[in-house]
């Protein structure tokens, strides 16, 4: 019996036979994995067999919030969506915010596990502990905003929260995402998993509330957290007014804002066209997730040319990279319009932009001909071509069909040496940091269980110069294995699992992150965890995810970076001359595996380590 935080209930849904049942959430899972990504990875490892087809009915799609969602703890309306990724064939975890995560808790569930495949287009309607299967025939083919509105109208309740896919998910594009409001569970192709199950949307509504185990301790813990937020020199003075896009200027200044498919980083740094000064001319307001006082999401409206009048919630920093720096597009209105179009089509903005930048470089090098592109002139900076490619990818038409499964799959089909220019790790396109100038960040890209994912172990020490847990030299490979393990474990335990906004770790509570989570956990749920035990939860999550990937055939050879980052020094900018040599990567991997207690030659978690974390059964599963 849970005292607070958790509903203690998991909804298991089988689309094949249109059945659902309520299951108890075991307390050992709650304490051992906390929630969110922890729950998703635990159920994924235990229930999805090795070599399962990611787009087959045996893959499972897991929506899970954390124990803090639905409370008055700020910045806790988050959830993780987990499945085996069709893009990477590895663990796929995507995080999203907004109002859906809280509504899921109010509807009575900590998680929804979706399995099987519906015979016809379907959406799931969950209200106050009960699930219904409803026809999605009317909304199949719709873009995401229209889909959400029609479902709300049909259910006669504008406060219903809807997570849905667009045409990209329906067409099984492996870079498709899941959209709720204009928030995205963006990466790893989880929209395609929904599409493969003929599941257009999940709608939730609840009248419940989240109990608090100890109200006195809760007030004290929440006040300490709020105090840390207020004392941050960045959170309210800058971040709440500018959001993540403010990083464009900073990344350009330190020479790590990637441009033109990572071929011109430092040489071409469009802060004057896409940075804060330009962004402020397009800001028209802000939005916030449930219960968040920061309201970092900036509403922007395009004001000139063919894109005038387009409104979007964003673009976030990553999208200014993917539809701006990566493609060489300097037109801020085009970036705004591309962001909104990608959301409506249900495409991950990062993967889509990286695929377009990749195609543009191949076109300029003559590897893709005008015949290959359908006469599209895919030169860097061509915003019209970028907009056209987004539609072509979502509907799998022409060259869009080639790019719809990401850069790795496209390079395999194109050949002609194009693999050299495919900027991905494990199939996941690189996000908005040229890690030649931030080497722990690069090691995180190489080792993250989801592929090149900035969210899994963000090296804020290198990117922003924050000396926690200690000061580092971003150009040095020394000590980066230990740092990367810390970043990955702490972020998993304090952000991805409880579930909390990751920006707070970087800007408000990095020095007290694990203690902050421990204090809030005891106050909200009654479950007592020390700061060290919280960090161990993060380590357990990362080891279990690694074990899932090992079972799928991944090993040390997959923990690498694109050849360009390993062999080509940056030519200009504040990180000029930097690259991650193969020797440096080897050094960092050796140290990382040693710190993790994994076999150094193979990168496989040892039985000793798994036993230490209380998951020795995983070693038996790997052995068999």
Predicted confidence band of residue 416 (pLDDT cuts 50, 70, 90): very high
435-561+581-623: which CATH number, 2.60.120.10, 1.10.599.10, 1.20.1250.20, 3.30.1490.100? 1.10.599.10
Q: Assign 98 to helix, strand or coil.
A: coil
**Are the C-beta atoms of residues 78 and 66 closer than 8 Å to each other?**
yes
Q: Bridge-partner residues for 313, per DSSP?
A: 299
Percent of the chain whose pLDDT exceeds 90: 94
Mean pLDDT of 32-50: 98
Cα 385 to Cα 355: distance, rounded to the nearest angstrom: 13
The token duo for 166 is 């667009």
What is the tally of helices (H) and strands (E) in the chain? 27, 17
Cα 365 to Cα 363: distance, rounded to the nearest angstrom: 5
Average pLDDT of the chain, as a whole number: 97
Per domain, the residue ranges of the chain are 9-205, 243-423, 435-561+581-623
**Are the C-beta atoms of residues 221 and 523 closer than 8 Å to each other?**
yes
**Are the C-beta atoms of residues 428 and 450 closer than 8 Å to each other?**
yes
H or E element at residue 163: strand 161-164
Residue 44 in this model has a pLDDT that exceeds 90 = yes
Closest alpha carbon to 434 in 586, 267, 296 = 267
Cα 584 to Cα 566: distance, rounded to the nearest angstrom: 9
- Architecture field, domain 243-423: Orthogonal Bundle (1.10)
Q: What is the pLDDT of residues 542-562, one digit of tens each?
A: 999 999 999 999 999 999 999
Cβ neighbours of 462 (radius 10 Å): 27
Percent of the chain whose pLDDT exceeds 70: 100
Whole-number Cα distances in Å, 344 to 146, 347, 557: 9, 8, 37
Residue 1 has what pLDDT?
78
Residue 509 has what pLDDT?
81
Residue 505 in this model has a pLDDT that exceeds 80 = no
Residue 624 in this model has a pLDDT that exceeds 80 = no
Mean pLDDT of 35-53: 98
Mean pLDDT of 292-307: 93
Q: Is pTM, for the whole model, over 0.85?
A: yes
Residue 433 has what pLDDT?
98
Closest alpha carbon to 615 in 529, 539, 562 = 539
Residue 104 in this model has a pLDDT that exceeds 90 = yes
- Architecture field, domain 9-205: 4-Layer Sandwich (3.60)
Sheet holding 61-65, edge to edge: 19-24, 9-14, 111-115, 61-65, 79-84, 91-96
For 96, half-sphere exposure in the C-beta direction (CA atoms, 13 angstrom radius) is 27
Q: What is the pLDDT of residues 380-410, one digit of tens each?
A: 999 999 999 999 999 999 999 999 999 999 9
Reduced DSSP (H G I as helix, E B as strand, rest coil) percent helix, strand, coil of the chain, to 5:
45, 15, 45
The token duo for 266 is 């430092």
Q: Tokens 């869009």 appear where?
A: 400
Q: Tokens 């956990």 appear where?
A: 521
Cα 522 to Cα 219: distance, rounded to the nearest angstrom: 12
Cα 240 to Cα 286: distance, rounded to the nearest angstrom: 9
Cα 214 to Cα 519: distance, rounded to the nearest angstrom: 11
Predicted confidence band of residue 65 (pLDDT cuts 50, 70, 90): very high
Residue 504 has what pLDDT?
75
Mean pLDDT of 213-238: 93
Whole-number Cα distances in Å, 347 to 92, 188, 190, 191, 421: 16, 11, 10, 8, 22
Cα 359 to Cα 373: distance, rounded to the nearest angstrom: 9
Cα 115 to Cα 118: distance, rounded to the nearest angstrom: 9
Q: What is the pLDDT of residues 117-173, one digit of tens each?
A: 999 999 999 999 999 999 999 999 999 999 999 999 999 999 999 999 999 999 999
Residue 507 has what pLDDT?
79
Residue 503 has what pLDDT?
82
Residue 414 in this model has a pLDDT that exceeds 90 = yes
Residue 506 has what pLDDT?
77
Cα 319 to Cα 315: distance, rounded to the nearest angstrom: 6
Residue 93 burial (CB < 10 Å; 0-12/13-18/19+)? buried
């Amino acid at each position: 019996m849970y005292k607070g935080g958790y509903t203690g209930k998991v909804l298991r849904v089988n689309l094949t036979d249109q059945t659902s049942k309520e299951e108890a959430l075991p307390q050992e899972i709650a304490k051992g994995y906390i929630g969110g990504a922890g729950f998703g990875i635990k159920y994924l490892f235990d229930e999805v067999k090795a070599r399962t087809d990611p787009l087959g009915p045996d893959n499972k799609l897991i929506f899970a919030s954390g124990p803090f969602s639905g409370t008055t703890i700020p910045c806790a309306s988050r959830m993780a969506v987990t499945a085996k990724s069709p893009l990477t064939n590895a663990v796929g975890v995507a995080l999203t915010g907004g109002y859906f995560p809280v509504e899921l808790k109010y509807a009575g569930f900590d998680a929804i596990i979706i399995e099987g495949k519906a015979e016809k287009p379907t959406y799931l309607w969950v209200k106050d502990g009960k699930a219904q299967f409803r026809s999605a025939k009317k909304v199949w083919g719709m873009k995401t905003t229209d889909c959400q509105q029609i479902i709300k109208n049909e259910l006669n309740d504008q406060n219903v929260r809807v997570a849905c896919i667009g045409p990209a998910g329906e067409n099984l594009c492996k870079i498709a995402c899941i959209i709720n409001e204009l928030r995205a569970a963006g990466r790893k192709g989880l929209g395609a998993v929904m599409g493969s199950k003929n599941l257009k949307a999940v709608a939730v509504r609840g009248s419940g509330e989240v109990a608090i185990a100890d109200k006195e301790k809760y007030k004290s813990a929440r006040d300490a957290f709020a105090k840390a937020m207020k004392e941050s020199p960045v959170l309210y003075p800058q971040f709440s007014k500018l959001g993540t896009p403010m990083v464009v200027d900073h990344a350009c200044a330190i020479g790590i804002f990637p441009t033109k498919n990572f071929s011109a980083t430092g040489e071409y740094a469009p802060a004057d066209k896409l940075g804060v000064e330009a962004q402020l001319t397009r800001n028209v307001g802000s939005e916030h997730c449930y219960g968040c006082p920061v309201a970092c999401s900036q509403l922007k409206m395009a004001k000139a040319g063919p894109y005038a009048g387009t409104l979007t919630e964003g673009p976030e920093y990553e999208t200014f990279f993917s539809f701006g720096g990566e493609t060489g597009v300097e037109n801020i209105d085009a970036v705004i319009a591309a962001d909104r179009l990608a959301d409506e089509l249900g495409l991950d903005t990062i993967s889509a932009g990286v695929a377009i930048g990749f195609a543009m470089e191949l076109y300029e090098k003559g590897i893709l001909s005008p015949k290959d592109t359908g006469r599209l002139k895919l030169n860097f900076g061509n915003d019209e071509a970028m907009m056209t490619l987004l539609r072509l990818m979502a509907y799998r038409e022409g060259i869009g069909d080639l790019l719809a499964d990401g850069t790795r799959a496209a390079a395999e089909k194109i050949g002609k040496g194009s693999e050299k220019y495919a900027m991905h790790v494990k199939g996941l396109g690189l996000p908005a940091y040229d890690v030649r100038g931030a080497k722990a960040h690069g090691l995180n890209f190489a080792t993250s269980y989801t592929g090149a994912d900035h969210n899994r172990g963000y090296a804020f020490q290198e990117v922003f110069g924050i000396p926690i847990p200690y000061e580092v030299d971003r150009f040095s490979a020394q000590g980066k294995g230990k740092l990367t393990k810390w970043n990955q474990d702490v972020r998993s335990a304090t952000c991805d699992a409880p579930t909390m906004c990751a920006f707070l770790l970087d800007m408000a509570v990095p020095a007290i992150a694990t203690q902050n989570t421990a204090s809030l956990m005891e106050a909200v749920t009654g479950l007592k965890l020390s700061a060290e035990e919280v960090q161990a939860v993060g380590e357990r999550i990362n080891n279990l995810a690694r074990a899932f990937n090992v079972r799928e055939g991944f090993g040390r050879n997959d923990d690498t970076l694109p050849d360009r980052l390993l062999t080509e020094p940056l030519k200009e900018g504040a990180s000029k001359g930097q690259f991650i040599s193969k020797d440096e990567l080897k050094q960092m991997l050796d140290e990382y595996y040693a710190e993790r207690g994994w076999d150094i030659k193979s990168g496989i978690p040892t039985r000793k380590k798994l036993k230490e974390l209380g998951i020795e059964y995983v070693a038996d599963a790997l052995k068999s």
